[in-house]
Amino acid sequence: MTLEARLRGIVGSTQVLQGGDLSAYEVDWRKRWRGRARLVVRPGSTEEVAAVVRACAEFGASIVPQGGNTGLVGASVPDESGTQVLLHLGRLNRVREIDAANLTMTVEAGCLLQAVQEAAAAQGLLFPLSLAAEGSCTIGGNLATNAGGTQVVRYGNARALCLGLEVVTADGEVWSGLSGLRKDNTGYDLRDLFIGSEGTLGVITAATLELYPQPGTVSTALATLEWLDDAVGFLELARSRLGAALTGFELMNRFSLELVRRHFPQLQQPLPGAAWTVLLEQSSSDSAEEAAQRFEDLLAAAFEKGLIADAAVATSVEQAKTLWHLRESIPLAQSLEGLNIKHDIALPISRIPAFVRATDEALARAIPGVRLVDFGHLGDGNLHYNVQAPEGEPADLFLIEREDEVNRIVYDAVMAHGGSISAEHGIGALKRDELVQRKSPVALKLMRAIKQALDPHGRMNPGRVV
């Protein structure tokens, strides 16, 4: 019996795709990574996932797990060999349980992030992980990459929002670690091994997630600034005035919003262009009047200290959504502008202004006319420091000819300022070789030992991370 026949027997013939147009599975979101799968298999349960993994192990086939295929580092598409089985988890999309008293919900890996948010909201609760791709990314992928998003400053990354996992191991066993416990000190934390492992150690099939009460009031505003140092000062002031109510503090440079204006002219921008723009949000259980007054007092203090030049406060839910839409449209606007060199970096917040100044200058010297799309989550030190070709230069040619040089300049500066080359996107295939240069030898040795222990035959998403 062939592997193809075995897999059809496990999941049904209609759930094994072979031949024809498989580009939805074989091409990544950035259209940068294009692979060729031996076949695509779409199991409908954890038991079917386990059986698929056992069959692949028996036939010596490697597996590439995939959720919404919204990743940015080439971790969720097959290579070009035509030998890998793409394991698509979209049919594992059930909400298994919501425990309102325990503030937890258990969902399967193929659930869309937006569906999880909506299921929590239907119970009057909040699942706070929020990404621009939430309408298409899945919980399994969010956990496999330890996704961040716009509310990390208050609620933490995906790792902080996950209490337990269900995982199919590399040999096809099921580890049922679903738990709603917040304290369980019984040995090594296996959950944390799989979160952020990008499918290289096992396949996440379900998770128990932490929920929060819905905030009573939400306040949202845009503010413009001339200097990046003032943005850091404004963040310090917001933390001192709002405390834990500060849930978002996003940063956008002038060119990032110019791209949004160019490609999405229908999106109204309420403030004139400025060197830097901050989008901040407060979520509070206080009365609307108390929350609004505290927010207004913060902005007034920021004006008085000379930290911000102008501000626009949303006066309705729809206006708040419009402000967030501006921020979330930057990646798509940049994609429409053309291929670009992306950097998802983390830095100590105090070092961000110095990093940006030094790196902007170094890139301008190396590539006159280079355009920088600098935006991200200032509240947790995560910048998307992206590099666009000079005006009129072919974007694809720029990527081919300049990527290595640009990466060296940016990553050297990141390391010099005590940062990380990946904040929330992961390593995948894109940064694997860079990781070898930038990670400590001891850390790499430990990572490889874990990989060898959990996947000794190297069948789980090979060529990614390590």
CB 371 within 8 A of CB 402: no
**Residue 353: what residue type?**
P
CB 246 within 8 A of CB 194: no
**Residue 389: what residue type?**
A
**CA-CA distance, 452 to 75, in Å (whole number)?**
19
The per-residue b/e assignment along 380-404, b for 16 or more CB within 10 angstroms, e otherwise, is bbbbbbbbbbeeebeeeebbeebee
- 310-369 pLDDT per residue, tens: 999 999 999 999 999 999 999 999 989 998 999 999 999 999 999 999 999 999 999 999
- 220-229 pLDDT per residue, tens: 999 999 999 9
**Residue 128: what residue type?**
P
- 406-426 pLDDT per residue, tens: 999 999 999 999 999 999 999
With a cut of 90, say whether residue 1 has pLDDT above it.
no
Instruction: Label the pairing between strands 95-99 and 104-108.
Output: antiparallel
CATH code 3.30.465.10 region(s) in the chain: 95-213
Q: pLDDT class for 286, splitting at 50, 70, 90?
A: confident
One of 3.30.465.10, 2.40.320.10, 3.30.43.10, 3.30.470.10 is the CATH number of 3-88, namely 3.30.43.10
CATH code 3.30.70.2190 region(s) in the chain: 217-331
Place of tokens 């996107």: 425
**CA-CA distance, 448 to 454, in Å (whole number)?**
10
Res 133: pLDDT: 87
**CA-CA distance, 259 to 334, in Å (whole number)?**
7
Strand partners of residue 16: 41
- 61-102 pLDDT per residue, tens: 999 999 999 998 989 999 999 999 999 999 999 999 999 999
Res 342: pLDDT: 93
**CA-CA distance, 121 to 206, in Å (whole number)?**
20
Q: 385: Cβ–Cβ under 8 A, 6 or more apart, which residues? A: 343, 345, 356, 359, 372, 374, 376, 410
CATH assignment of 95-213? Answer: 3.30.465.10
CATH code 3.30.43.10 region(s) in the chain: 3-88
439 burial (CB, 10 Å; 0-12 / 13-18 / 19+) is: middle
Between helix 254-263 and helix 330-337 the angle, nearest 10°, is: 70
Q: What is the C-alpha R_g of the chain?
A: 23
Q: Which CATH class is domain 338-435?
A: alpha beta
**CA-CA distance, 294 to 381, in Å (whole number)?**
25
106 burial (CB, 10 Å; 0-12 / 13-18 / 19+) is: buried
Q: Which CATH class is domain 217-331?
A: alpha beta
23 burial (CB, 10 Å; 0-12 / 13-18 / 19+) is: exposed
**What tokens were used for 224?**
């413009």
CATH code 3.30.70.2740 region(s) in the chain: 338-435
Q: How wide is the angle at C-alpha 263 spanned by C-alphas 258 and 266, nearest 5°? A: 95
With a cut of 90, say whether residue 31 has pLDDT above it.
no
**Residue 408: what residue type?**
R
Provide, for the chain, the percentages of residues in helix, strand and coil under a 3-state DSSP scheme, each rounded to the nearest 5. 40, 20, 40
CB 28 within 8 A of CB 69: yes
- 378-387 pLDDT per residue, tens: 999 999 999 9
Region 200-217 average pLDDT: 96
Q: pLDDT class for 42, splitting at 50, 70, 90?
A: very high
Res 29: pLDDT: 84
pTM, whole model, 2 decimals? 0.93
